[in-house]
Amino acid sequence: MARTLALAAALVLSGLLAPSTVAATAQPPTAWAVCGRIAARYPTPPPGAVVVRPIDEEVQRLTAERPSGTTFWLAPGTHTLGTDQYGQVIPKNGNVYLGAPGAVLDGRGRNRYAFTGYATNVVLRNLTVRHFVAPRDEGVVNHDSGDGWVIERNTIENNKGAGLMAGAHQRVRGNCLRNNGQYGMNAYKDGPLTDMVLVGNEISGNNVDDWETVTPGCGCTGGVKFWALDGAVVRDNWVHGNRGPGLWADTNNNNFLIEHNLFEYNDAEALFYEISYNAVVRDNVFRANTVVMGRRFAGSGDTFPVGTIYISESGGEPRVAARTNRIEIHDNTFVNNWSGITLWENADRFCNSPANTSFGTCTKLVANPDRCVRPRIARAPLYHDCRWKTQRVLIHHNRFTLDPAAIGCDRGCGRMAVLSNWGTYPRWSPYQGQVVQQAITFKQGNLWHHNTYVGPWTFTPFDTSRVLNAAAWQAAPYYQDVCSAFTLLPTTC
């Protein structure tokens, strides 16, 4: 796939192919589209299924009356849950809910939640779930994060809050998750969250309510947000047009495989990996992401190098079990995004620091945050283990193509970066001054190599004041992008 995309990008730059056809040539959006294209699978009730007529509160009544493991077939029409804001379906273990063609579960702007409770191994297929009004940070489907749910070929759209929450061993396949108020899915659980599969979904237009504007700095927006999830396969999804990040993994996530996805036209980062561990990001397409965020930074005079992939205080850690002990980003294709990959580590953010916005959370290497204090934090092992480190990140065999005119950019939109800030806070921090800047740039095994660059790329190591050309980036003391190729955009006449 990467070779096909590279060829398509080269044809665009040579003028032989219109830019708008790049994704169609290599990753046809129609082949990725789910919304409006989910096949009707259950025109008649399967043998033994309980028929649910589109009568108000019928689905709750029948669910309460029937035993665990019952299959329900929701007949065509609009199914409703009464006028109480807490009208909801509470499945029993192993229940199956199948939607006939045209079966809609509608919250009518009154009900907060569609499917709730702690039942395990619930199955939802071929339903449309819409117009529920979950509060911020809560979700409509699997509201209480029951384990083992299988959510397939549903349309979950136009709800407040998150369309979907997550439990351990959850399977989310072939769904349309679009135009929800906060997230398409909020993968959070008050307890162990492991083994997530997110495959073949269309995740688009989420964060309609623009929560970062309503509550600046909330860190609560995007297509999907993952929290403390250990083990995820994210494959073959079309993540596009979300207000905020496309996918955002925040706080002690680990062991992610992100492959064969198409990310395009997300306002902020396509992929944001924050204070987390060990991931493989391969064979994805990133197209026209981060432009809204990049323009906002540039317009305000902020020189921070926003990136389409943003790795923040995250890295490979051999002591945390996973499919890899690195973050490896390889064989991806980037076309006309606002910049490329930024590796960042906040010198003031560590376990027990007031600057750590993930309050009360410590690294996976230190169970008790209270241990990370003077004088112990100034000595090994806590000196190393109390920090989330951007380390062991390998970026190789990717193709980065940028035509600034295509995204309306004058400058600053073609950057790679590995940097930190000067440590200042709190006063007892052992990481003050250049300690972290030196570490992330030179000592933590962060390496670019064997990449291809087309367009006017620059490189920012150490801090925001250093803006290098390719030759300086490859030379001492950085020695980055060994065996990489650099080509400016060809002149067309």
Lowest mean pLDDT among 3-7, 16-20, 349-353: 16-20
Per the CB < 8 A criterion, the answer to whether 75 and 42 are in contact is no
| Amino acid at position 283, single letter | D
Question: How many domains does one find in the chain?
Answer: 1
H/E segment holding residue 234: strand 229-235
Q: Is residue 493 part of a domain?
A: no
Q: Is residue 388 part of a domain?
A: yes
Per the CB < 8 A criterion, the answer to whether 277 and 316 are in contact is yes
SS3 readout for 376-429:
HHHCCCHHHHCCCCCCCEEEECCEEECCHHHHCCCCCCCEEEEEECCECCCCCC
Q: Is residue 298 part of a domain?
A: yes
Per the CB < 8 A criterion, the answer to whether 273 and 312 are in contact is yes
Q: Is residue 331 part of a domain?
A: yes
Q: Report d(CA 209, CA 290) in Å as an integer.
A: 19
pLDDT higher than threshold 60 for residue 24: no
DSSP of 71-115, one letter per residue? EEEEPSEEE---SSTT--B-PPTT-EEEEPTTEEEE-TTT-S-SB
* Residue 489's pLDDT band (cuts 50, 70, 90): low
Per the CB < 8 A criterion, the answer to whether 222 and 248 are in contact is yes
Tokens in use for 56? 């108000």
* Residue 333's pLDDT band (cuts 50, 70, 90): very high
Q: Burial of 491 by CB count in 10 Å (0-12 exposed, 13-18 middle, 19+ buried)?
A: exposed
Q: Report d(CA 281, CA 329) in Å as an integer.
A: 5
Q: What is the pLDDT of residue 359?
A: 77
HSE (CB half, 13 Å, CA atoms) of 130?
A: 13
pLDDT higher than threshold 60 for residue 16: no
- 120-176: per-residue pLDDT in tens? 999 999 999 999 999 999 999 999 999 999 999 999 999 999 999 999 999 999 999
Domain that holds residue 294: 2-487
pLDDT higher than threshold 60 for residue 41: yes
What's the chain's average pLDDT? 92
Tell me how far CA of residue 477 lies from CA of 341, 448, 452, 468, in angstroms. Answer: 20, 14, 21, 12
Structure letter (DSSP) for residue 156:
E
Tell me how many degrees the CA angle 100-105-108 measures, rounded to the nearest 5: 150
* Residue 360's pLDDT band (cuts 50, 70, 90): confident
Mean pLDDT, range 179-201, rounded to an integer: 97
* Residue 488's pLDDT band (cuts 50, 70, 90): confident
Q: What is the pLDDT of residue 31?
A: 76
Q: Is residue 52 part of a domain?
A: yes
Tell me how many degrees the CA angle 93-98-102 measures, rounded to the nearest 5: 150
Q: What is the pLDDT of residue 411?
A: 85
Per the CB < 8 A criterion, the answer to whether 226 and 198 are in contact is no
Structure letter (DSSP) for residue 133:
B
Q: Is residue 219 part of a domain?
A: yes
- Look at the chain and count its residues: 493
pLDDT higher than threshold 50 for residue 248: yes
- Please identify which residue in the block is written with the tokens 């699997």: 142
**Phi/psi of residue 438, nearest 5 degrees:** -65, -40
* Residue 331's pLDDT band (cuts 50, 70, 90): very high
Nearest Cα to Cα of residue 42 among 98, 90, 1, 92? 98
* Residue 428 belongs to domain with CATH number: 2.160.20
- 74-113: per-residue pLDDT in tens? 999 999 999 999 999 999 999 999 999 999 999 999 999 9
pTM over 0.85: yes
Q: What is the pLDDT of residue 29?
A: 65
**Region label for 301, one of left (φ > 0), alpha (ψ between -120 and 50) or beta (otherwise):** left
Q: Is residue 492 part of a domain?
A: no
Q: Report d(CA 198, CA 229) in Å as an integer.
A: 13
- 434-474: per-residue pLDDT in tens? 999 999 999 999 999 999 999 999 999 999 999 999 999 99
Q: Report d(CA 342, CA 356) in Å as an integer.
A: 20
Lowest mean pLDDT among 266-275, 364-373, 390-399: 364-373
Per the CB < 8 A criterion, the answer to whether 194 and 229 are in contact is yes
Q: Is residue 209 part of a domain?
A: yes
Per the CB < 8 A criterion, the answer to whether 188 and 165 are in contact is yes
* Residue 232's pLDDT band (cuts 50, 70, 90): very high
